């Protein structure tokens, strides 16, 4: 690096210091790919086994002999199984908010790495998935956010594991009310028949991996899985960053 370029970088770092997205403290300018400090990184809570065989959440002791959580016992979900590496709280919740609502699309790389690490650590059956499908946004919402966070995560996962990415396969048929703040039953009603599969798509006997950022009740992923299975898909798994 030339002396002039080094001088310009120093001036830039002074004028625009890198800030941890978790605690807002200053980051080391020598680490260009860092987005949170080491202390905040350690605060990201992992989703640990045993997992519910439906929604993928950690199973409490009372439900371990059933392999399914009490919430999933009461709810019909159309996907076969969901998986998440982290819990949607604290530092990670803040990072997802920055990523999703504040246009920080560059976070797709580091956030998707958590998902890729989970796939490797828990022998997720990625080899049996024929392709990856991100949860689509309605066109109006995508224009508002300027990108689809699920597609951004999917792109990295697909590249990491050499999988096909079908970003246009699922179509959002109508603008739905935001799920934030809705009661569980309302979430499922809100998402009912909100997806369809693109015309002339052959999904017969295909295994599909749906990718999204967060799984809460599972209403969105379940509605997407219903559309895929209605078009002939065999197994539909869901992978989200957090639950």
pLDDT at 229 over 50: yes
Strand order in the sheet with 81-83: 81-83, 236-242, 208-214, 131-134, 164-165
Q: Note the pLDDT of residue 203.
A: 93
The verdict on 96 and 23 lying in the same domain is no
Rounded CA separation 157/131 (Å) = 11
**What phi, psi does 230 have (nearest 5°)?**
-65, -25
What residue numbers bound the domain in which 152 lies? Answer: 44-242
The verdict on 3 and 89 lying in the same domain is no
The verdict on 4 and 18 lying in the same domain is yes
Residue 213 — pLDDT band, cuts 50, 70, 90?
Answer: very high
The verdict on 105 and 193 lying in the same domain is yes
The verdict on 86 and 167 lying in the same domain is yes
**What phi, psi does 122 have (nearest 5°)?**
-105, 15
Tokens standing for 58? 């950690």
Residue 181 DSSP code? T
Rounded CA separation 14/28 (Å) = 12
Could you tell me which residues come within 8 angstroms of residue 211 by beta carbon, excluding any fewer than 6 positions away? 115, 132, 133, 134, 135, 150, 153, 154, 157, 238, 239, 240
Q: What CATH code is carried by the domain that includes residue 227?
A: 3.40.50.2020
Mean of pLDDT values over 103-122: 93
pLDDT at 11 over 50: no
User: In the listed set 43, 58, 77, which residue is the last one of a domain according to the structure?
Assistant: 43
The verdict on 33 and 65 lying in the same domain is no
The verdict on 12 and 56 lying in the same domain is no
Q: DSSP letter string over 28-55?
A: PTT-TT--S-HHHHHHSPBP-SSBPTTT
Q: Count the domains in the chain.
A: 2
Residue where the block lists tokens 């970088």: 9
Q: Note the pLDDT of residue 15.
A: 43
Q: DSSP letter string over 144-196?
A: HHSS-HHHHHHHHHHHHTT-EE-TTSEEE-SPPPP-TT--HHHHHHHHTT-EE
Residue where the block lists tokens 């002339």: 200
pLDDT tens string 184-208:
666 666 667 678 899 888 899 999 9
Is 115 exposed, middle or buried, given 0-12, 13-18 or 19+ CB atoms closer than 10 A?
Answer: buried
Average pLDDT, the chain: 85
Q: Please indicate whether residue 89 or residue 9 has the higher confidence score (pLDDT).
A: 89
The verdict on 134 and 28 lying in the same domain is no
**What phi, psi does 213 have (nearest 5°)?**
-85, -45
Please report, for the chain, how many H helices and E strands are present, in that order: 9, 7
pLDDT tens string 145-180:
778 999 999 999 999 999 999 999 999 887 655 555
Tokens standing for 183? 């009661």
Q: Please indicate whether residue 182 or residue 111 has the higher confidence score (pLDDT).
A: 111
Q: Please indicate whether residue 238 or residue 23 has the higher confidence score (pLDDT).
A: 238
The verdict on 16 and 121 lying in the same domain is no
For residue 56, give the nearest of 41, 45, 44, 68 by alpha carbon. Answer: 68
Q: What is the pTM of this model?
A: 0.86
Mean of pLDDT values over 58-76: 83
**What phi, psi does 170 have (nearest 5°)?**
-95, 135
The radius of gyration of the chain from alpha carbons, rounded to an integer in Å, stands at 19
């Amino acid at each position: 690096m030339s002396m002039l370029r080094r001088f310009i970088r120093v001036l830039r770092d002074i004028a625009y210091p890198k800030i941890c997205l978790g605690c807002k403290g200053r980051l080391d300018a020598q680490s260009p790919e860092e987005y949170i400090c080491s202390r905040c990184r350690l605060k990201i809570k992992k989703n640990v086994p045993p997992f519910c065989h439906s929604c993928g959440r950690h199973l409490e002791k009372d439900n371990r002999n059933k392999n399914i959580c009490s919430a999933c016992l009461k709810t019909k979900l159309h996907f076969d199984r969901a998986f998440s590496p982290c819990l949607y709280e604290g530092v990670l919740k803040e990072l997802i908010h920055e990523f999703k609502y504040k246009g920080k699309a560059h976070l797709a790389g580091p956030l998707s790495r958590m998902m890729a690490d989970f796939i490797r650590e828990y022998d997720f059956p990625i080899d049996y998935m024929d392709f990856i499908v991100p949860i689509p946004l309605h066109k109006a919402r995508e224009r508002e956010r300027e990108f689809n966070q699920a597609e951004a995560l999917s792109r990295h996962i697909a590249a990491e594991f050499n999988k096909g990415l079908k970003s246009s396969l699922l179509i959002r048929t109508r603008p739905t009310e935001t799920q934030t703040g809705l009661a569980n039953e309302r979430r499922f009603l809100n998402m009912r028949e909100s997806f369809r599969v693109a015309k002339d798509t052959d999904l017969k006997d295909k295994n599909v991996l749906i990718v999204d950022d967060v799984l809460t009740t599972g209403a969105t992923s379940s509605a997407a899985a219903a559309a895929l299975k209605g078009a002939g898909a065999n197994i539909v798994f869901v992978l989200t960053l957090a639950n």
